[in-house]
Amino acid sequence: MHANHAPHILLVNPWIHDFAAYDFWAKPLGLLTLAGILRDHGARVSYVDCLDRFHPLSPTTSLPAARCGRGPYLKTIIPKPAGLVDIPRNYCRYGIPPESLRHDLKQLDRPDLVLVTSLMTYWYPGVCETIQAIRSVFAHVPVVLGGIYATLCPEHARRTCDADQVMTGPGEKALLPLVAQYTGWSPTPTFDPQDLDSLPWPAMDFEHRLAHVPVMCSRGCPFQCAYCASHRLQPRMLHRSPASVLKEIGHWHHNHGVRDFAFYDDALLVAAERYIVPLLEGVIDAHIGVRFHTPNALHIREMTLPLARLMRRAGFHTIRLGLETTAFDGRQVMDRKVTENEFFRAVEYFKAAGFRAEQVGAYLLAGLPGQSVSGVEDSIRVVKQAGVTPVIAHYTPIPHTSMWPAAVAASRYDLEADPIYTNNAIFPCQSETFSWEVLTRLKNLAQS
């Protein structure tokens, strides 16, 4: 390719292979940010979303307004991975049918480069199948894999997924040199990867229909919890200006009719007076009628009564708190982000601000190394007595976290041999203690 000729670059969000998956305000934010950068620099960009709930060739699974934008993916039962054949549940491909993907690819002109993202480490079989499907249509086009799985398990990805290259870490800085490497096209960057305000907004308009839009006010997290890989994925905390975030929210709301926005921040409330408070005041002043959701959880320690009231006025609809356990005396091995008094105080703030119990959920980890069922049951009772909703979150062992060695030691599977065994649906760090029957009992206890 001539160095001055802008290339055609295809970006693909792959299938999920799992025992369960659901669209809880999920979008490939990183991939769509790269799409925005490429488009802004003049590249010809195509996008295929294997998880598209509103694909023209697929039956619509739910209306965009239903469930605040959430909804089930289309799914197809497929064979279980060899090491998980004993799991008494169906294993599925989540997303559009393979024939729909092939149809979409064949409608495109041959790309010069394909970029594929990845999310959960144990979803890699879906990534591999997606790359195989791309190769079946574009046999000799280079494919580069990035994302969370690629960053946390790069050697496994290189051995397994048949990509020409595996990229680790945030993609913005590496993107244009990568494109130059494969196509010879090398435009002058118009952004600074360390200045989030200089990045273009994610190219959400590539989606067929926008039931919801993710928003990130910041990247990174000042906490280093034992079970979380945020610090590995984004070592430095970066913030956007409130004015930039407000402008983006207004754009998607006014120009695309989006009402539901999910904050993807790992630490949304850190330095609240400088960031989230001015943003929410701007939302209120602009009379933007939207709903906000926090699936990534809020840090409880940062909550104040004025902030809770501001969140209520600005349109927060779904609150999730990063509680993890109510065994406060022994939690120092996991994190130091909340005390018992801070949790109960935050709950009272939300109540006083007018939030209903069903709007405020506290995540409780289940399946931690050495954890007992009774410990989870106790946490559920404490959260319910506080007057908010317990939300059970299955623990996922993640490489490079400080809890990883304990997870490896506790697991009945060889976690280091294959990421497939870190699937949180199989409670990999427990024996038969957390059976499906026990999990059903815990869910019933949480919902009763």
Measure the CA–CA gap between 23 and 72, rounded to whole angstroms: 6
pLDDT at 204: 97
Lay out the sheet containing 16-18: strands in order across: 16-18, 91-94, 75-78
CATH topology classification for 8-183: Rossmann fold (3.40.50)
What does the H/E/C string look like for 130-160?
Answer: HHHHHHHHCCCCCEEECCHHHHHCHHHHHHH
- The whole-chain average pLDDT of the chain stands at 93
CA distance 121 to 153: 7
| Cβ–Cβ < 8 Å for 195, 35 | no
Residue 63 has pLDDT above 80, yes or no: no
Examine the pLDDT at 65 and tell me if it is beyond 70. no
pLDDT in tens, 318-370: 999 999 888 877 666 666 678 889 999 999 999 999 999 999 999 999 999 98
Torsion of CA 233, 236, 242, 245, to 10 degrees: -30
Question: What predicted TM-score, i.e. pTM, was given to this entire model?
Answer: 0.94
Percentage of the chain exceeding pLDDT 90: 82
Q: Tell me phi and psi for residue 205, to 5 degrees.
A: -70, -10
Query: In the CATH hierarchy, which fold is given to the domain comprising 212-447?
Result: TIM Barrel (3.20.20)
Assess whether pLDDT exceeds 50 at residue 164.
yes
pLDDT computed for residue 2 by the predictor? 47
- Given a contact cutoff of 8 angstroms between Cβ atoms, the answer to whether 76 and 100 are in contact is no
- The pLDDT tens digits of the residues spanning 20-56 come to 999 999 999 999 999 999 999 999 999 999 999 999 9
Q: Where do the domains of the chain lie? A: 8-183, 212-447
Examine the pLDDT at 444 and tell me if it is beyond 50. yes
pLDDT in tens, 229-284: 988 888 889 999 999 999 999 999 999 999 999 999 999 999 999 999 999 999 99
What torsion do the CA atoms of 29, 35, 37, 43 make, to the nearest 10 degrees?
180
For the cut 90, the answer to whether the pLDDT of residue 108 exceeds it is yes
Q: What's the pLDDT score for residue 313?
A: 98
Angle at 421 between CA 416 and CA 424, to 5 degrees: 125
Q: Which of 234, 278, 314 is nearest to 294 (CA)?
A: 314
